A and B are shown apart, each in its own frame.
Chain A
Amino acid sequence: MEKQSYILIVDDDPDIREGILTILESQPYRLAAACDGKQCLEMLAKETPDLVTLDLLMPRMDGWGVIREMRSTPKYSQIPIMVLTTVIEDASRRRYELETGLAMDVQDYVQKPAKPADLLKRVERLLSVYV
């Protein structure tokens, strides 16, 4: 039997979290949510997800900080990340490069709000490519 994919949803807005959960619940995924970067790392430590959907603008630790942490930790460096944010991609990448000196290593970049069908398609694609 195929193991269910485990997806971690990271966003400080409870309405966004609920919206995304509702969309992804339509598929046989195991889902969990974190409300900021710090909680995200805590949950990563408990169980490694197959995919992380990541907001960028969050308190305590923002999305850029999470990406930096994950990519510099061998255990998490291979987990695909889908950024889901209102921030425009080129501005976002530029900021990450300025902060870290490295290119932003994420596997998808989606502008909020994502259309449900589009989100499902992208999640499916990332899960199948990054097994």
Chain B
Amino acid sequence: MFEAPSTAAAIVAGRLSLSEVFTGLSDEDLIAIAGFSREVSYPESEFLLREGQPAEALFVVERGKLALEKKVQPGRHTTPRSATIGYVGPRHVAGFSTLTPPYIYSTSAVCLEPTRVITVDGPGLRAYLQAHPAAGLIVMNSLAALVADRYRQSTNTLTYFLSIVSHELRSPLAAIENYLQTMHGGFAGELNSKQARMIQRCLLRVSDLRVLIGDVVDLARMRPEQIQADFEWFDPSDVGTESIEDVRLAAADKEVQIKVEPPVRFEPIVGARRRMRQVFTNLLNNAIKFSPIGGTVTFRARYEPDQVVFDVEDEGPGIPPDEIPHIFEDFYRASNVGETTGLGLGLSIAKKIVDSHDGQVIVTNLSDWQGRSGTRFTVCIPRNLKTPEMLRREWVTEAAN
């Protein structure tokens, strides 16, 4: 006797058809998928899936609400925190990493209230869609629309947020810093030594804050193509001088000397001038931050046939060797940073800029037989970079031939 699909399966199939990922599938497909799905109830605070775990299942919410969370862990020795990046309500889906390689959950999902879901077996779903291309196409189309929408939402929010943050934070900070500098310069009357010292400390902290905000906004916006679009011929010695001026106050505050070892002769190179200044300023700031009081930071440049090589060396404690591979990660701060301030963005920004220049950043711990320590950051910038104008001329010549 022909056995009709069980009522339970039919009900599940019906519910699946209403979800954002399975709409448009045929009844047979839905019944088949319902065959490797089951309804499960979870209490509040239960985790359905964990970030980084193999994606074994897709979850269609019937009732309740999930929060999607990503781990945020600045540095390896700070407490990890979770950031909520979105919510999943009825008819919506969590865990669609089940359908996209490398099949690893990109977020965690936790129940904000008692939640009832349809759990669809991941490997089963993948196998079914592969065997039924028409169904596969429908599901993948839905998935593509979903992902595109979530991406658009997050970039819209980011862009909006950045443009607000950019002005609303920078503006008052500029006013504060301006007043402090005016007072510090003696333009508002003579200061006693204590006042002068306190104002100088304020200037340093405010300047750090200004750089921090600039960095955060910058990092979110930085794309290699944008940096490359700004490529022009510039003299590295000008940029180096500006960077040294940028960190003069921080160096003076710790009585750190900056020793400059220039090349025999400076020649212009192609690169993004403002961005390279950021690289040197960030490396110098880092070196000063980790220098002992009264220490020396060395800033060196030399020209090789194919590249220009810059070194920034400090006499600080060095970087623990097992942490060296991680120091360029966003927000990473090594375990021995101690009391120093900073968000951990300077190096990650510097690396992104150097990468856009097709260059390299190399880190070396320095130690000698006298027990002195330190770190050297080496930046190599190739000398064959092209400005947009040079590229344009190349294309025009190529097209003509």
B274 close to chain A: CB less than 8 A: yes
Are B175 and A19 in contact, with the CB atoms below 8 A? yes
For B188, what are the chain A residues with a Cβ–Cβ distance below 8 Å? 22
Q: How far is the CB of A93 from chain B (nearest CB, A)?
A: 12
**Among A65-73, A100-108, A114-122, the stretch in contact with B:** A114-122
CB 8 Å contact bits of B161-182 with A (1 = contact, 0 = none): 0000001001100111111011
In chain A, positions 1-60 with a C-beta closer than 8 Å to chain B are 13, 15-16, 18-20, 22-23, 25-26, 57
For B187, what are the chain A residues with a Cβ–Cβ distance below 8 Å? 22-23, 25-26, 116
Residue of chain A at shortest CB distance from B167: A57
Are B175 and A16 in contact, with the CB atoms below 8 A? yes
Q: Which of B171, B188, B274 has the most CB of A within 10 A?
A: B171
Give the docked Cα–Cα distance between A65 and B176 (Å): 26
For A13, what are the chain B residues with a Cβ–Cβ distance below 8 Å? 171, 174-175
What is the interface of chain B mostly: helix, strand, loop, or mixed? helix
B185 close to chain A: CB less than 8 A: yes
Are B174 and A22 in contact, with the CB atoms below 8 A? no
Are B181 and A116 in contact, with the CB atoms below 8 A? yes
Task: Give the contact-size bracket for chain B.
Answer: 10 to 19
Residue of chain A at shortest CB distance from B183: A22
Are B177 and A113 in contact, with the CB atoms below 8 A? yes
Give the docked Cα–Cα distance between A131 and B185 (Å): 28
- Indicate which residue in B171, B178, B179, B230 contacts A90 across the interface (CB closer than 8 Å): B230
Residue of chain B at shortest CB distance from A112: B174
Are B178 and A16 in contact, with the CB atoms below 8 A? yes
Task: Give the contact-size bracket for chain A.
Answer: 20 to 34
Q: How far is the CB of A29 from chain B (nearest CB, A)?
A: 13
Are A19 and B179 in contact, with the CB atoms below 8 A? yes
A86 close to chain B: CB less than 8 A: yes
In chain B, positions 160-215 with a C-beta closer than 8 Å to chain A are 167, 170-171, 174-179, 181-182, 185, 187-188
Give the docked Cα–Cα distance between A115 and B177 (Å): 9
Residue of chain B at shortest CB distance from A14: B175
For A19, what are the chain B residues with a Cβ–Cβ distance below 8 Å? 175, 178-179, 181-182
Q: Say yes or no: A15-B179 contact (C-beta < 8 A), given A116-B185, A116-B187.
A: yes
For A116, what are the chain B residues with a Cβ–Cβ distance below 8 Å? 181-182, 185, 187
Give the docked Cα–Cα distance between A96 and B267 (Å): 33
Q: Which residues of A contact B (CB under 8 A)?
A: 13, 15-16, 18-20, 22-23, 25-26, 57, 86, 88, 90, 112-117
In the assembled complex, 17 residue pairs joining A and B whose CB atoms fall closer than 8 Å, in A order, are: A13-B171, A13-B174, A15-B178, A16-B175, A19-B178, A22-B182, A26-B187, A57-B167, A57-B171, A86-B170, A90-B230, A112-B178, A113-B174, A115-B181, A115-B185, A116-B182, A116-B187
**Known A15-B179, A26-B187; 4 more pairs at CB < 8 Å:** A23-B187, A86-B170, A113-B178, A114-B178
